[in-house]
Amino acid sequence: MAAKVALLFFTFGLAFLAATVSADPDMLQDVCVADFNSGVKVNANVQKIPGLNTLGVSMARIDYAPGGLNPPHTHPRATEMVFVLEGQLDVGFITTANVLIAKTIKAGETFAFPKGLVHFQKNNGQVAAAVIAAFNSQLAGTQTIAATLFAAQPPVPDNVLTKAFQVGAKEVQKIKSKFAPKK
């Protein structure tokens, strides 16, 4: 009986430990002071938004033209939540069981995209749409699926892509040509 109780406490301890290390690290300072002599320049700095650099969050405004698309992509380090300011969007994500969770959202509504899952947003209206996107990470990262596969440098081997997508080499080359850098 004592062994079962000890095992139970050990299991809960491991679960608690896993939960405590599953987020951005705690900040080491209250605010991060900008280095104005640096060659790197950003639109927002700690003078405009004090302390944002060390809070483990980020935000962006995204504007969509009628018919505009934010193609399938992932954020490997953050969950994303969007709030529609104007217009409406078709949004969705694909679960790890390959189930599409999709919805049309309009001004005043929100939608969340879980960390690391492939997701998209498309303006389905005849007028412009805008959202505020919030992330629970300072550096969410963005990996666009098509560009990742068809514009990687060095390139993903054609035989990998032909087998993965069950298409011929000509089709792979045609898709790759659409993602080639503009000269």
Binding residues for oxalate: 70, 75, 80
Torsion angle defined by CA atoms of residues 115, 120, 123 and 128, in that order, rounded to the nearest 10 degrees: 50
**CB-CB contact of 34 with 47 (8 Å):** yes
Binding site feature residues: 70, 73, 75, 80, 119
What residues are designated binding site for Mn(2+)? 73, 75, 80, 119
